[in-house]
């Protein structure tokens, strides 16, 4: 407890010293969205200053109000220091052009030092070296070194640990290295990780996992234990009393902590996931132990970063170094695991030997073998009205999921289908803006936003939905990365309506669901309408597609089957080593 308190305190103080405004924004993401929404509303009521109004609107997810406040502040007489803070809010909200205007305003108003905000602006664009240069020129060497430490990692730095002589692994023992995990994080990443690890445990392997150094105390879990055991899987926490300075320093610290743990549990293979910094640590520890290691690519995080910026982001230093580092780590792994064919082809184009790529698609656990509940009964169990037809999703609530298009399609359908309801399950940075949009469309009373739900109740929420919608935007990341939640919906015998993107076509076909044009509200509306009969009830076609989808998933996408393929590959690596 004392160690965790010191770790949390020193982390918070470091963020407070470096950037108080950024700390406020980061803390807000860790709190329940409802609490943040109410607190932001109270702050906006009590203080009418442009900065308070802008921060409050941003925290509430009201993008139009945030833009309105920022634009109004540009025409008002604000102090230079306030203009710099407003520039930082504009960057956080994704308005870089307005941020530039505020920076110019601050400089012309006599701001003594705008270097930190200018550096953040360059960092936002992916100009990592440029941001460091600005800070060094202004004498902000401590902040410059913090950013430079991250740039070094992207540019090829690796941790080092001494080789271990006489290491003898325990047979059929694997140590996974994860960014986060259950029970402290309930994301799709954590769910997939646990499903794989549990299936490996059930198959007779000894399964351990280690999360990144400082987690979960860094995200506010003060009472976190050193080990959590879930379904036979041991999750080890690497929790020093203080974190090393700098990004590279923390990765070096993680490598040392991971090596010490590996000498305790003695794995025959190490297995980690994107992004590349995990690979840097695991590769070095595997080299020291003389054992093989596996790199599991679950996403294209460089493209995820670029998706929230202009097209110029893909020509930036950060994007180039990010993609080069990912490719280099993939090429150096003994085995590369990924979700689907689209992602495999992208890897091959980056120089990865196709013979060492294993497809392990998203799948479902044994609990989905049980006959699913009908939607009305599931809703009754959740305390929702059991009648009517529910469209919706279970997802991380982020912009590229396209849930704004879902709400717009729902608003078009409601007048002709008064029994229609919308259920959106999950949490994320886009949730406040979706709530605001529902109000603007006049459908708030017909939309239920659950926020984050316990993982043991996620399946029940899948079953509460009649038509599961995956309206992802057309971006490089969504074209390549296959999500888990529609697979779980299909296993629940729910028809899926999804954007017609390569990764989603690997899951949904004309025999199991409906594909619509990405980003096209009219196409999405038509796709959903086609699954309703003349009376507004679920059509027989929709029911039949749900039955076919469940049959396909239980035949081809179970964690037991995926685990068998992965463990077979582990055994091959053991023999090769």
CA-to-CA distance for 436 and 450, rounded, in angstroms? 15
Question: Whats the size of the chain, residue-wise?
Answer: 577
| 120 and 209 inside one domain | no
Strand pairing of 269-273 and 335-338? Answer: unpaired
- Whether the predicted model's global pTM rises above the 0.85 cut: yes
| Residue where one domain finishes, among candidates 335, 359, 383 | 359
Q: Would you say residue 180 has pLDDT above 90?
A: yes
Q: Which span out of 189-193, 261-265, 360-364, 368-372 was modeled with the highest average pLDDT?
A: 261-265
| 208: pLDDT strictly greater than 70 | yes
Rounded CA-CA distance 82/128 in Å is 25
Could you tell me the CATH number of the domain that includes residue 197? 3.40.50.2000
Q: How many CB atoms lie within 10 A of CB 190?
A: 19
Q: Flag whether pLDDT at 37 surpasses 90.
A: no
Direct distance between the N- and C-terminal alpha carbons of the chain, in angstroms, rounded to an integer: 41
For residue 85, tell me if it sits in a domain: yes
For residues 489-503, average pLDDT: 97
pLDDT of residue 496: 98
Q: What DSSP letter does each residue of 375-414 carry, written as one string?
A: HHHHHHHHTS--SSEEEEEES---GGG-HHHHHHHHHHHG
Instruction: Dig out the tokens for 291 from the structure.
Output: 């054992």
148 contacts: CB under 8 Å, gap ≥ 6: 132
pLDDT bucket at 25, cuts 50 / 70 / 90: low
The answer to the question of residue 7 being in a domain is yes
Whether 564 maps to a domain, the answer reads no
pLDDT tens-digit map of 51-70? 999 988 888 878 888 999 99
Mark residue 362 as left, alpha or beta (left: phi above 0; alpha: psi -120 to 50; beta: remaining). beta
Is residue 166 in some structural domain? no
- For 304-315, the pLDDT digits (tens) are 999 889 999 999
Q: Are residues 329 and 396 in the same domain?
A: no
Please name the residue that has the structure tokens 């609490």: 35
CA distance 92 to 570: 43
Give the pLDDT of residue 577: 62
Over the Cα atoms of the chain, what is R_g? 25
Answer yes or no: do 414 and 339 share one domain: no
Say yes or no: 79 and 227 in one domain. no
DSSP state of 481: P
pLDDT in tens, 216-246: 998 889 999 999 999 999 999 999 999 999 9
Q: Which of 310, 333, 359 is the last residue of a domain?
A: 359
Within 13 Å, how many C-alpha atoms sit on residue 89's CB side?
29
Report the distance separating Cα 389 and Cα 469, nearest Å: 13
Residue with tokens 């017909």, as numbered in its chain = 446
Task: Please say if the pLDDT value at position 122 is more than 70.
Answer: yes
547 and 424, same structural domain?
yes
Q: Give me the pLDDT at residue 90, please.
A: 95
Rounded to the nearest integer, the mean pLDDT of the chain is 92
Do residues 219 and 351 both lie within one domain? Answer: yes
CA distance 383 to 399: 28
397: Cβ contacts below 8 Å, ≥ 6 apart: 403, 424, 426, 427, 428, 429, 430, 431, 434
Q: Which whole number is the average pLDDT over 428-453?
A: 92
Number of separate domains in the chain = 3
Assess if residue 571 is contained within a domain. Answer: no
What pLDDT, on a 0 to 100 scale, did the predictor assign at position 575?
65
Please say if the pLDDT value at position 143 is more than 80.
yes
Please report which residue ranges of 242-275 form alpha helices under DSSP H. 247-265
Separation of alpha carbons 530 and 539, rounded Å: 8
pLDDT for the residue numbered 104:
94
| pLDDT on residue 534 | 87
Taken in order 353, 354, 356, 361, is the CA torsion positive or negative? Answer: positive
Whether residue 406 is found in the same domain as residue 552: yes
Report whether pLDDT(12) > 90: no
Domain boundary, last residue among 93, 121, 154: 154
pLDDT tens readout for residues 97-114: 999 999 999 998 887 799
pLDDT at 182: 93
393 and 350, same structural domain?
A: no
What is the mean predicted confidence (pLDDT) over 152-180?
97
358 φ, ψ (degrees, to nearest 5): -115, 125
Q: What CA–CA distance (Å, rounded) separates 338 from 357?
A: 7
Burial class (CB in 10 A: 0-12, 13-18, 19+), 17: exposed
Per-residue pLDDT at 513 exceeds 80: yes
3-class secondary structure per residue, 409-453: HHHHHHHHCCCEEEEEEECCCCHHHHHHHHHHHCCHHHEEEEECC
Instruction: Provide the pLDDT confidence category of residue 29 given band limits of 50, 70 and 90.
Output: low
The more confidently predicted of residues 427 and 500 is: 500
For residues 532 and 404, state if they share a domain.
yes
- 310, 393: one domain: no
131 and 187 in a common domain? no
Determine the distance from the C-alpha atom of residue 505 to the mean position of all C-alpha atoms in its chain, rounded to a whole number. Answer: 21
Domain of residue 28: give its range: 2-154
Mean pLDDT, range 346-366, rounded to an integer: 94
- Same domain? For 524 and 432 the reply is yes
Q: Give the pLDDT confidence score for residue 41 in this predicted structure.
A: 73
User: For 413-438, how does the pLDDT look when each residue is reduced to its tens digit (9 = 90+)?
Assistant: 999 999 999 999 998 878 888 998 99
- Cβ contact 393:470 at 8 Å: yes
Question: Is residue 396 a part of any domain in this protein?
Answer: yes
Looking at residue 296, what DSSP letter applies?
E
Helix, strand or coil, per DSSP, at residue 204: coil
Q: Strands (DSSP E) along 181-226, which ranges?
A: 206-211
Beta bridge partners of 357: 336
Provide the 3-class DSSP secondary structure of residue 233: strand
């Amino acid at each position: 407890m004392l160690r965790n308190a010191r770790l949390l305190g020193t982390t918070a103080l470091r963020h407070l010293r470096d950037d108080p405004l950024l700390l406020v924004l980061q803390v807000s993401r860790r709190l329940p969205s409802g609490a943040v929404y109410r607190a932001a509303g109270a702050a906006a009521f009590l203080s009418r200053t442009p900065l308070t109004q802008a921060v409050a609107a941003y925290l509430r997810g009201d993008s139009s109000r945030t833009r309105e406040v920022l634009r109004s502040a540009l025409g008002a007489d604000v102090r230079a220091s306030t203009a710099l803070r407003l520039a930082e809010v504009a960057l956080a909200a994704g308005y870089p052009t307005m941020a530039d205007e505020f920076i110019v305003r601050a400089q012309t108003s006599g701001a003594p030092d705008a270097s930190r905000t200018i550096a953040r602006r360059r960092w936002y664009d992916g100009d990592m070296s440029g941001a460091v240069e600005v800070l060094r020129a202004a004498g902000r060497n401590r902040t410059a070194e913090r950013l430079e430490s991250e740039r070094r990692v992207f540019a090829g730095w690796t941790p080092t640990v001494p080789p271990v002589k006489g290491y003898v692994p325990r047979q059929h023992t694997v140590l996974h290295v994860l960014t986060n995990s259950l029970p402290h994080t309930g994301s799709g990443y954590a769910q997939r990780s646990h499903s794989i690890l549990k299936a490996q445990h059930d198959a007779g392997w000894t399964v351990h996992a280690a999360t990144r150094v400082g987690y979960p105390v860094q995200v506010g879990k003060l009472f976190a234990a050193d080990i959590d055991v879930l379904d036979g899987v041991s999750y080890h926490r690497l929790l020093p009393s203080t974190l090393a300075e700098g990004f590279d320093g923390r990765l070096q610290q993680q490598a040392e902590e991971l090596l010490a743990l590996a000498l305790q549990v003695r794995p025959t293979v190490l297995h980690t996931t994107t992004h590349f910094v995990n690979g840097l640590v695991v590769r070095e520890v595997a080299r020291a132990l003389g054992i093989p290691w596996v790199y599991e690519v679950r996403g294209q995080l460089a493209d995820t970063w670029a998706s929230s910026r202009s097209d110029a982001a893909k020509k930036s230093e950060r994007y180039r170094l990010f993609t080069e580092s990912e490719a280099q780590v993939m090429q150096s792994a003994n085995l590369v695991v990924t979700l689907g064919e689209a992602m495999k082809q992208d890897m091959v184009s980056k120089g990865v030997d196709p013979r060492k790529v294993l497809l392990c698609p998203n799948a479902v656990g044994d609990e989905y073998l049980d006959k699913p509940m009908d939607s009305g009964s599931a809703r009754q169990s959740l305390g929702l009205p059991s009648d009517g037809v529910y469209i919706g999703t279970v997802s991380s609530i982020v912009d590229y999921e396209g849930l704004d298009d879902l709400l717009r399609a729902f608003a078009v359908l409601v007048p002709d289908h008064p029994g229609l309801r919308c259920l959106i399950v999950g949490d994320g940075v886009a949730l406040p803006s979706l709530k605001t949009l529902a109000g603007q469309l006049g459908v708030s009373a017909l939309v239920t936003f659950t926020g984050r739900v316990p993982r043991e109740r996620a399946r029940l929420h899948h079953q509460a939905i009649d038509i599961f919608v995956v309206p992802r935007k057309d971006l490089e990341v969504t074209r390549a990365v296959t999500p888990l939640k529609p697979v779980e919906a299909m296993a629940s015998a729910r028809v899926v309506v999804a954007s017609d993107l390569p990764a989603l076509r690997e899951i949904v076909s004309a025999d199991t669901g409906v594909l619509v044009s990405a980003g096209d509200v009219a196409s999405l509306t038509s796709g959903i309408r086609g699954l309703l009969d003349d009376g507004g009830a679920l059509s027989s076609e929709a029911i039949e597609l749900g039955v076919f989808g469940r049959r396909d998933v239980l035949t081809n996408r179970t964690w037991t089957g995926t685990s068998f393929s992965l463990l077979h590959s582990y055994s091959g690596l053991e023999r090769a080593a």
